[in-house]
Amino acid sequence: MIEHVYRRAQAAESVDTVLVATDDTRIQEAVTKFGGKAVLTAGDHQSGTDRLAEAVCDLKFDLVVNLQADEPLVNPMAIDLALKALANNPKLLMSTIRCPIETPADLENPNVVKVAVDTEGFALYFSRSPIPYFRNFDLETSQIAYRHVGLYAYRRKFLLHLASLKPTQLEQTEQLEQLRALEHGFRIQTVEIKQEPVGVDTQQDLDRVRQIFSAGAS
Residue 168 exposed, middle or buried by CB count within 10 Å (0-12, 13-18, 19+)? middle
Residue 40 exposed, middle or buried by CB count within 10 Å (0-12, 13-18, 19+)? middle
Measured over the CA atoms of residue 52, residue 55, residue 60 and residue 61, the dihedral's sign is: negative
Average pLDDT over residues 183-203: 80
Residue 119 pLDDT greater than 60, yes or no: yes
Q: Where are the domains of the chain?
A: 2-200
Q: How far apart are the first and last CA of the chain?
A: 12
List pLDDT tens digits, range 136-188.
656 665 678 999 998 999 999 999 999 999 999 999 999 999 999 999 999 99
More confident residue, 164 or 200: 164
Kindly indicate the confidence band of residue 215, based on its pLDDT and cuts at 50, 70 and 90: low
H-assigned helices in the chain: 2-11, 25-33, 48-56, 76-88, 104-108, 156-164, 169-174, 179-183, 203-214
Other Cβ atoms within 10 Å of 89 Cβ, number: 11
List pLDDT tens digits, range 7-49.
889 999 999 999 999 999 999 999 999 999 999 998 888 888 8
Name which of 10-19, 108-117, 152-161, 195-204 the model is least confident about.
195-204
Give dist(CA 68, CA 72) in Å, integer.
9
Helix (H, G, I), strand (E, B) or coil at 153: strand
Give dist(CA 102, CA 42) in Å, integer.
39
pLDDT for the residue 157: 95
Radius of gyration of the chain (CA): 17
pLDDT for the residue 200: 56
pLDDT for the residue 13: 95
Average pLDDT over residues 199-217: 57
Give dist(CA 27, CA 22) in Å, integer.
7
Q: Which of 138, 75, 77 is nearest to 102 (CA)?
A: 138
Other Cβ atoms within 10 Å of 133 Cβ, number: 6
Residues in the chain: 218
79: Cβ–Cβ under 8 A, 6 or more apart, which residues?
8, 9, 12, 14, 15, 65, 67, 151, 153
Q: Which CATH class is domain 2-200?
A: alpha beta
Percent with pLDDT over 70 in the chain: 85
pLDDT for the residue 15: 93
